[in-house]
Structure 1
Amino acid sequence: MGPVLLLMMLAAENSEVTATPPEHSTGLKFVVAFPENIAYYHPVVAQNMVQLTALYDDTSVNIKSYTFADIEMTLSQGESKNYTLDERMESNSQSISDRVLQITSNNLITVHAINQKQNSVQTALVLPTDKLAKEYLIPPVPEIQGTTLPVNIVTAGVTERGPFRLVIVNGENAGNIVTVKGTNDEKFTLESNHIVQIWLGKTEQFRSVTASYPVAVLFGHTCAMRSSCICGQLYAALPPAKEEKLKFYIPPALANGTEAFVLVSEKTGTKIQDFNPASPLVETAGTAIFYHQGLLLPLIPDTDFAACYVVHSILDTQNFVFIVVNKTFTDGVHVGNLRLENSWQDLKGTDYVSTTVVLVLGKSVIWHASSKMAVYFMGRKNGSWFGNPAAIISTSPDFRGCVLSPEVLKIGEVANSWQESLKYCKDQKMELVSFPEAQHQREVYGKLLQAQGASRQEVWIGMRRSSRSGEWYWLNGVPVNDTNWEEGEPGTVHDGQCAIMSLDENKNFGWSDKGCCEAAKPVCHIEPILLNIS
C-alpha cells in the first residue's frame, strides 16, 4: 500500500476520515472572456464556444452573455454541451468592457473555453469565481520571429503587430482595484463582470497582477506568427501566483521535435528556459508555462496532481491526453472502465514517467485507483498543438473509480452492543462499515493506522451471522469472499454471532467473532459517490 492511500488522518477516535471536497476545476459560477481572434488575417467569423460538463443529474445551467438573451439548459451526470458565442463577444479593445460570459448552475460543473478560426485552435480550463486569486505572476514574453522579433516590428498601430497582452477578468466583486506592477504601475477599478486589457510593452516591464478581490488573467497574443504570413491566436489562462518551490514534470512528447521553451515567473524575476527532453524537471518558486509554436500550456506542479480528470474531445481535430505519474503507480491508471496498458517513457533523472493516450470522440474519464497524477488535454490541427491542464474532478484516489464525494469513516464515541452500534450509525446517517473487497479493506486499515490517539481497541464492523443459516453476511448485501479472520476465527455457530475488528496493527487488523451484546465502538461509514465513467 502506497502512502498516497493514507489520504487523511483521524484526529481522535470520534473523528471522521474524509478527503478534500470537489476540486478547483469545478464550481457553480464562472465568468469567461474571449480575446480578439484575427488568426490568418482573414475577416471570417471565429468559432468561440464554451463546453459545459455536469457532475450530477438535473443540473440547470444559466448563461448570460453581454447584452444578449439568457440561455437555459439542463444536463445529466457526465453530459457535456457546447454553447457558441456571438462574434461580438470578442474583447477587441484595450478599454474596460463588459463583454463577458456569466455562467451559473445549481450543481457543480466544469467549463472549457474553445477558440477556433480556420486551423487556429486555442483552449483553456476556466476556473470558477470562488477559486480565482488576488495575485498572478506575468510570464516573460516568448521570442517569436515576426511577432516579437525583430523588436522594431512591434507597433500599437497594427493589430497583428501589437504587443503581447493581458486580459484581466473581474468576477462578482464591484469596485475591484487591479494593479499591474512594473517599472510604472498601472491601476484600474473594475466593476462586477468587467474586463480590461493591458499591452505588455518592453518599457513597462510588468511583473505581476494584484487585485483587491479575486480575478482571472489571460496572457497571449491575437495573432502570433507560425510561418510565412500565417498567424494564429495564442493564449493561456495564468495560474495563481505561488511562492513555495514547486516541481514541474514535463512530458518529452510535448516538444514533438520542435524548438520549445519554458516561461518561468518568480517574484524575483522571470526567465525563458530552453526545454531539453533529457532534463524534463523544472523547479521554481513561482509558475511555469510551456511554449512552442501555437501552444502556451500552464504546467501542473506536483502539489496539484489529482486522481480523476474529465476531458471532452473537439470535432475535426486530433485529441490526446498526456499523463505524468510516479513510475511505481503506472498500473493504477484507468481510462474509463479500462486499465491503461500503454508503454511509458521515463522522465530522465526523476521517478516519473509519461505517456500519450489518443482520445475517442466524446467524454473520457482518466482516473487513478491509488495515486495522483498530472493530466493534460491536448489537441492538434494542421500540425499545430493546442491544450490545457485537464479539468480536475477529484484528488481522492479510489479503486472503485472517479470520486465526486469521498467516503467517510467514523469511529463512534460510545461502546455499545452490535445492535445499538448499528442504530448509532444510522442516527448519524451512516452505516456500520461493510468492506468486502480486499483492496477496500487495505485502504480502511491504512486510514485507521494513521489515527492519532486511537487506542488498540476492538470495533464493530458490518458483518454478522444469519440467524437462520449461520452463514456470515455483510450488511450491504455483497457476498463474503475476501476476509481477514484471525487465526482460529471464526468459531462455530455456537460461538459469537457478530464480527469485531482489532485496531492493533500487530494483529493486522484481524477479525474475530464476539457475542453481539458485548460493548465496543462502531466504525461508521458513508459510501463514496462516483462519477459515471461509461
Structure 2
Amino acid sequence: MLFHLIFMSLVCSGLSVESYGRDFITAFPENTVYYNPQESYNTLQITAFYNDTLVEITINYTKVFHDKLRSGQTKIVHFPKYNEQFQFTNFPLFARVNSTQKIVVLWLSQRGSSVQSNVVQPVTNLGKWYSIPFINYNQMMASLYNMSDQLAPDSWRYNSFRLIIINAENSDNLITVQSISPDGPKAFNITLRPHKLYQFQTNGSEIQLDSSGKVAVLLTHPCVETAGCDCNMVLSHVLPRNLWGDTFLVPSVKNLNTAWLQVTNTTEVRLKGVNIKTQQFNSSELIPFPELKSASQLISSTNKVSIRLISPGFVLELIPETMFAACYLVQMNSTEGEVVIIAETAHKNNVSIDGKLLQFTNWKPIPYSNYSSISVSLSGTHVIWHPTSKIGVYMFETMEGGIPYGSPAVILNDDPDRDGCVADSTNYMTNFLQNNIGPGYLWIGLRRSLFTSEWYWLKGNDSKYSVSFTKWANGHPDIPQKALCAAVSKDSNKEFSWKSVSCCSKLRPICYKQGKYFSDITFNTLYDNF
C-alpha cells in the first residue's frame, strides 16, 4: 500500500478538486426583494485547517474583517443588508476572502423564511468558460399548479433568473456574453476591473460566457414562487465547463415531491437514466424526474454536461462522479440537517462520520450502478470520510415552509487515507528516486510475518496494512529464512523494483511526514459582525 502510493505519486496526475484554498470571491445576491422590511442575514462561515491562519475579508476593496483562526475553528462573519447585490450592470459589491493557510468558506443568506446556503469555490476551481441554461420556471410552475405562466407586465424585475459575473483576477477581464433566444443569438462584451461584478437578467436565454481570465458565476433568483403567494431565493454557484462530467448520482432529497432535471450541454447529447429513454436534449428542456421520491438515481450522458435538480423553491447543481472525493466537511445551521452519502456498494460499510463508522444499515442500492446511498440526520459540524474509495456527499436543511435547501458538501481532500479524513496529507520524500542517484536500495516499510510468511505494510504508529500492490524484481521475494523485509531500488532503469532482504541490512529508509487528520480537530464556532 505505501509503495503503491509512492509509485503513483511519481507517475500519475489527474483531476483533483478540493473546496479549500487561500483565495475566494463571491457576492450576496438579492434575497426576496431589496425593499423587504425584514433584516437580511448574510454570512460567510470560514473554517481554518491550521493554527495561526490569518484571514482577511474585503468588500468593495475595503477591509472589513481581519482575524487569526485556530486549527478547526469556524468564524461566522455577518454582513449587513446593504451588501446585497440588487443593482443591475456594473457594481462593486464583491466579497473577497484571503488567508495565509488553507480554509474553506460556506455562504449563507436568509431573509425571513427564505434561506439558501452554498459552498464558495476557491479561485483555483473557477474557470473562463461557462454555459448557463434558460430555466423556464414560470412554465414549470404553471404545469404544476394548472395556472397561466404569463406574469403581469409590472413584474418584469422578477420575471427571470439573473446572472452575476465576478472578475476573480487582479487585472481587467474581458468577458463575451452570448445569449441564444428564440429571436436568435445576441452577443455583447463586458470589461470588468479587478474583482468587480456585473449582474443582468437572463431574459429567457441560454447563455455562453467566454472570458480572458477566471470568473465566478452565480445563477440566482430573488423570489421564485413555491406555492400560492410564497416565494424564496434560489442560488447556484455555476461550475465551469472544465468540471462537467458524463455520469451523475442524483441524491434523493426529503420533502422534494416534484422534481425536474435541467441539462446544460454544448454538443448534441443523449441522456440515460431510470424512466429516461435514450434521447436528445437541449439545454433549455426541463425533464420530469418523479423517480427521485424512492431513491437516488444514476444519470449518464454521451458527452460532458452539467445537470441541475430543480423543484419549486429549489435549484441544486449536481457534482459529476469525477468530482467525488475521500472526505468532506458538513456544517449545519439548524438542528434538522440531513446529509445524503453516496458510496460504492461493496465498500459502503466503511464510511465514517468523525472518528466512528457509520452504523446505519438502511442503505439503498442505486439502480443500474455499483453505488448505494443513505440519508443521515445531523446537526453541527462533522467530517465524513472513506478510507479506501471516493464518495459523494450532499448537505440539506429545511426552511420553515418545508422546502429544502443546500448544496454539495465541502470537499476537504481528494485522496483516501486509511487513518482518517486528511487535513494535511502524508508527504513522501521521493526526490532521490526521481533524481536517479545511482545503485542501491532503500527501506519501504514492507515486512513478512515470521509465523505465516505473509507480507504486510508497517507504519510508524505500528499499524499493519495488507498488501494490495507489489513490484518484485525477478527472483524475489526470496524464501522467508533469508529475507523477512523488503527494499526498493533507487535505479529508474530497474523501474524502482523491489527485492527481499535481511532485516539486519544497513539501508536508508524512504521517509515520510505523518499526515494530520480532521478527526483530531475539535471544531468550535465564533461569531463576528462588521
TM over 0.5: yes
Check conservation: 1:324, 1:373, Cα contact below 8 A.
Answer: yes
Moved more, 268-277 or 383-392: 268-277
The structure where strand makes up a greater share of residues is 2
Q: Which amino acid aligns with 2:311?
A: H
- Secondary structure of 1:297 counterpart: strand
Measured at CA, do residues 338 and 397 of structure 1 come closer, stay the same or move farther in structure 2, by a change above 3 Å? same
Instruction: Encode CA deviations 1:304-344: one digit per residue, 9 max, x unaligned.
Output: 100011121114x5212111111011122110011011221
* Alignment match of 1:381 (pick from 396, 399, 406): 399
Instruction: Give, in angstroms, the shift of residue 41 of structure 1.
Output: 7.9
- Partners of 2:230 and 2:244 in 1: how far apart? 40
- Partners of 2:463 and 2:138 in 1: how far apart? 52
Instruction: Give, in angstroms, the shift of residue 298 of structure 1.
Output: 1.1
Instruction: Give, in angstroms, the shift of residue 174 of structure 1.
Output: 2.7
- Secondary structure of 1:328 counterpart: helix
Aligned to 2:129: 135
Measured at CA, do residues 296 and 358 of structure 1 come closer, stay the same or move farther in structure 2, by a change above 3 Å? same
- Partners of 2:61 and 2:487 in 1: how far apart? 63
Aligned to 2:265: 266
- Partners of 2:93 and 2:236 in 1: how far apart? 18
Instruction: Encode CA deviations 1:123-158: one digit per residue, 9 max, x unaligned.
Output: 111111232100111023043469788443165x43
Q: Which amino acid aligns with 1:385?
A: P
Check conservation: 1:147, 1:224, Cα contact below 8 A.
Answer: no
- Secondary structure of 1:303 counterpart: helix
Q: Where do 1:319-468 residues align within 5 Å?
A: 319-342=337-360, 343-361=362-380, 363-382=381-400, 383-409=402-428, 410=430, 412=433, 413=436, 414=438, 435=459, 441-442=465-466, 445-446=467-468, 449=470, 455-456=473-474
Instruction: Give, in angstroms, the shift of residue 394 of structure 1.
Output: 0.4
Moved more, 408-417 or 185-194: 408-417
Tell me whether 1:84 sits opposite 2:78 in the alignment: yes
Measured at CA, do residues 191 and 417 of structure 1 come closer, stay the same or move farther in structure 2, by a change above 3 Å? closer
Check conservation: 1:160, 1:222, Cα contact below 8 A.
Answer: no
- Partners of 1:318 and 1:331 in 2: how far apart? 24
Q: Where do 1:33-72 residues align within 5 Å?
A: 33-38=27-32, 42-66=36-60, 69-72=63-66
Tell me whether 1:295 sits opposite 2:314 in the alignment: yes
Instruction: Encode CA deviations 1:366-386: one digit per residue, 9 max, x unaligned.
Output: 111111011112111221100
Instruction: Encode CA deviations 1:463-497: one digit per residue, 9 max, x unaligned.
Output: xxxxxxxxxxxxxxxxxxxxxx9644779xxxxxx
Q: Which amino acid aligns with 1:321?
A: V
Measured at CA, do residues 527 and 457 of structure 1 come closer, stay the same or move farther in structure 2, by a change above 3 Å? farther
Instruction: Give, in angstroms, the shift of residue 188 of structure 1.
Output: 0.8
- Partners of 1:126 and 1:112 in 2: how far apart? 6
Q: Which amino acid aligns with 1:292?
A: S
- Partners of 1:6 and 1:191 in 2: how far apart? 48
| Structure of larger gyration radius | 1
Measured at CA, do residues 486 and 262 of structure 1 come closer, stay the same or move farther in structure 2, by a change above 3 Å? farther
Instruction: Give, in angstroms, the shift of residue 352 of structure 1.
Output: 0.9
Aligned to 1:466: none
* Alignment match of 2:169 (pick from 160, 172, 187): 172
Moved more, 363-372 or 125-134: 125-134
Moved more, 160-169 or 226-235: 160-169
- Partners of 1:142 and 1:28 in 2: how far apart? 37
Aligned residues: 467
Instruction: Give, in angstroms, the shift of residue 162 of structure 1.
Output: 2.8
- Secondary structure of 1:96 counterpart: strand
Structure 2, unaligned runs of 5 or more: 180-184, 268-281, 446-456, 490-497, 523-530
Q: Which amino acid aligns with 1:313?
A: M
Check conservation: 1:147, 1:161, Cα contact below 8 A.
Answer: no
Tell me whether 1:527 sits opposite 2:514 in the alignment: yes
Instruction: Encode CA deviations 1:283-314: one digit per residue, 9 max, x unaligned.
Output: 23210111112221111111110001112111
- Secondary structure of 2:322 counterpart: helix
Q: Which amino acid aligns with 1:47?
A: Y
Aligned to 2:214: 214
Aligned to 1:10: 7
Tell me whether 1:283 sits opposite 2:300 in the alignment: yes
Structure 1, unaligned runs of 5 or more: 423-432, 460-484, 492-498, 504-508
- Secondary structure of 1:158 counterpart: helix
Q: Which amino acid aligns with 1:441?
A: Y
- Partners of 1:404 and 1:457 in 2: how far apart? 40
State the percentage of identical aligned residues. Answer: 25
- Secondary structure of 2:82 counterpart: helix
- Secondary structure of 1:369 counterpart: coil
